[in-house]
Structure 1
């Protein structure tokens, strides 16, 4: 009798449980700091207040809920996994077109705290969670991205991988967990067209369902093994141009190293235009607002689909507006979080500058997407000069990495933006930096407790 070939999730589970090396743990620690900065920066958001009020009515527990003390893991994830993307500065993987960190890291942290895991086990869980998220995200294809939120879809697989790693599940049980997590996943992009925070709730639900799937597998519950490639599986249902071979494709290293970081407080699709705009303006030095006649942005089609928004009226809309991104730079210089708040959105000079911005598709950039996010900016000046700059990749991509000092500076600035004092934030990020060699999670937990002091 011929043996049944392993399913995609069965083969993936074996890959995911290989040993994690020191370099991958160090990268994971850097991404933990980045996620933590993004989440803490969101503590001043209305969503944080709403979720904290809800969680305050629920039982306490062993997991840290940012700004809400110690809670049970599911309650902690409702806050921690929702806040990481609120500021639109969370990490991104270009090929998978998703953000692994906001889903994977909170699950790894909650599971690690609950199981009294070591710092190295925590970081290994992060690395493995990113791996599962990215591999399945890449395989979903652009057809899935047209209507579905890949961070939520693929993030559930990453979340259950991270939790399974902490729980010490073997490959057989991990395959069950992946099947269960994949059975109830996804999230529709309709929320992008309405002024709602549902995108963040997608992340929280992916994290919570992933943790539950791992717990169920640990209790012995089976999960569908062909949840990806089966006749009524995820690819058949939601991914018309799925690339199943990408789930197990060879890679020289852990895919966490291929993740990009976001230095600017806007949708990643706007970042190439932001960088190109800054490059163009460096050619002329400081320019007064009246020097600008027109600004043209040429970029890939998906950036236009998400960020062609000439008249934003809210903070969220501004972060998804190419026109606002480059107009704010022309008027105010280096992008800052405050440039996306209502006062700047409604500023007469910025509004007038947005009217001078036009956008179009660059077919060459579209052909390179999603492996590269590119843009070209052309600025026409009143004195007749034309400034021109192009980007194939954005700052923070593996080809243009942010140095460690820049990552640390971003995290600290975001934490302070969220209302965390500099001494408390510094202690917290010092504890994160020491995770690869730390003997216990206690210093990190003590620093997290300082958020509630």
Structure 2
């Protein structure tokens, strides 16, 4: 087959995917890969994911399901690992692009392990795919907003409306695709979207996380079919993507002119807390309001709280359900997350167990949280994700705090030691059922740090029981 690009932006994508990755971008790529892998190991123990990982009727293959001793076909490993990567709501993301890395890393990992790819090649493939996907996502988010005005359920779950392209591109690169095969893999995936008709984050059904898994599976399959000679639709590149030109203020094609010059991956964020990032600005504002601010220098007594008023951007106010019944629902409840911090002094994986969700003290405080849309925070979104919090105490005291953006992003990164401890907890959570001790967890941490320097199979071996 001969490569024929129908649009200049498609030609720019192809040229970029064949170009080198500079050292600074590679380091950001390494950080993204390590973050997603840590999240996937923790998510391998999550409800729903663990059952599929252990009991799914998958054929044996050359790709690992993280956190288990199973090796299955790459598309099935990609599906399960991508679902695991988002299950704990602790994976990385990008302010203007959503959760970019989960499908890219989970899908690419399956192909890279099967093809015995070295770490640097894998990280570079993920980095290139990340850049392309951030640019695609900006347009797809704009499309999603317009389409949902007409059909409210359409393109509901943003984890899965773009992420066929990322794992397809990463997998094709890791499978040594020719330029023609890579272009066809891109075209095939660019005309696919795994669309959930509803995103049950408030219900918290475990199947919710598999929408992202199915998307990664489709992406890996797109790469495999392209390598088998399947051609993608050139007409789709025109008919589907040309309308995007009108959706973005600076146009669509212009997004790709900066590939290799402006690295979007440098602005990725990491999560200090295992909950939806829309809950993080209110939580950080709450921490500013209450940490060490009482006369005695102690945390606020939950029974002394009359009300908690949150002002933030519109999307964050969707997280207002105050009585979550499942792990996932709790992670998408700002009232529950804020109440958990006031009652427990922390928000970690243990805060979303069935026992924690049933805590009457936490539920009582959550019922006193009121989320309100604020025009200033909405105008600044998505470049800045801000919130302010006012805690009214029963004695009339008002404690206030505010944040222009949450902790963990490039403008306020997590300290290295704190981030390493977060990853240690994630790895220990996912590997707790295996033959692991503190030394072995340290070995897994070291494998994440050195993911760009070791063969992928060595890294994966360190993330198995």
1:295 equivalent among 292, 295, 308: 308
Q: Does the aligned pair in 1 maintain the 2:75–2:218 contact within 8 Å?
A: no
CA shift for structure 1 position 249: 4.8
Q: Which residue of 2 aligns with 1:35?
A: 36
Q: Which residue of 2 aligns with 1:444?
A: 459
Q: Is 1:73 matched with 2:69? A: no
Q: Which residue of 1 aligns with 2:381?
A: 369
Separation in 2 of the partners of 1:4 and 1:327?
A: 53
Separation in 2 of the partners of 1:235 and 1:141?
A: 15
1:315 equivalent among 289, 310, 327: 327
| Equivalent residues, number | 441
Structure 2 vs 1, CA of residues 405 and 246 (structure 1 numbering), >3 Å: closer, same or farther? farther
Q: Which runs of 5+ in 2 are unaligned?
A: 149-153
Q: Does the aligned pair in 1 maintain the 2:282–2:388 contact within 8 Å?
A: yes
**Which stretch of the first structure deviates more once superposed, 151-160 or 336-345?**
336-345
Q: Which residue of 1 aligns with 2:161?
A: 153
Q: Which runs of 5+ in 1 are unaligned?
A: none
1:169 equivalent among 163, 171, 177: 177
Match of 2:38, SS?
helix
Separation in 2 of the partners of 1:78 and 1:4?
A: 30
Q: Does the aligned pair in 2 maintain the 1:124–1:165 contact within 8 Å?
A: no
Structure 2 vs 1, CA of residues 414 and 437 (structure 1 numbering), >3 Å: closer, same or farther? closer
Structure 2 vs 1, CA of residues 323 and 365 (structure 1 numbering), >3 Å: closer, same or farther? same
Give CA-to-partner distance per residue, 1:303-324, whole Å, 9 cap, x none.
112x111222222222111111
Q: Which residue of 2 aligns with 1:85?
A: 86
Q: Which residue of 2 aligns with 1:396?
A: 408
CA shift for structure 1 position 425: 2.5
CA shift for structure 1 position 240: 8.8
Q: Which residue of 2 aligns with 1:117?
A: 117
Structure 2 vs 1, CA of residues 441 and 265 (structure 1 numbering), >3 Å: closer, same or farther? closer
1:331 equivalent among 343, 346, 350: 343
Structure 2 vs 1, CA of residues 427 and 386 (structure 1 numbering), >3 Å: closer, same or farther? same
Separation in 2 of the partners of 1:323 and 1:87?
A: 18
Equivalent positions of 1:124-273 (< 5 A) are 124-144=124-144, 146=148, 147-148=154-155, 149-188=157-196, 190-192=198-200, 194-225=203-234, 227-228=236-237, 230-231=238-239, 233=240, 241=247, 244-245=252-253, 247-250=255-258, 252-273=261-282
Separation in 2 of the partners of 1:271 and 1:216?
A: 40
Q: Is 1:424 matched with 2:440? A: yes
Q: Which residue of 2 aligns with 1:414?
A: 426
CA shift for structure 1 position 365: 0.9
Which structure: greater helix fraction?
A: 1
Q: Is 1:48 matched with 2:49? A: yes
CA shift for structure 1 position 442: 4.6
User: Which ranges of 4 or more aligned residues in structure 1 deviate by more than 6 Å?
Assistant: none
Give CA-to-partner distance per residue, 1:85-126, whole Å, 9 cap, x none.
111111111112x21222111222111112221111111111
RMSD: 2.4
Q: Does the aligned pair in 1 maintain the 2:47–2:206 contact within 8 Å?
A: no
Q: Does the aligned pair in 2 maintain the 1:134–1:154 contact within 8 Å?
A: no
Structure 2 vs 1, CA of residues 227 and 406 (structure 1 numbering), >3 Å: closer, same or farther? farther
Match of 2:216, SS?
helix
Give CA-to-partner distance per residue, 1:372-406, whole Å, 9 cap, x none.
21111011123332111111111111111123333
Structure 2 vs 1, CA of residues 223 and 371 (structure 1 numbering), >3 Å: closer, same or farther? same
Separation in 2 of the partners of 1:78 and 1:288?
A: 44
Give CA-to-partner distance per residue, 1:287-333, whole Å, 9 cap, x none.
2223222110011111112x111222222222111111112222221
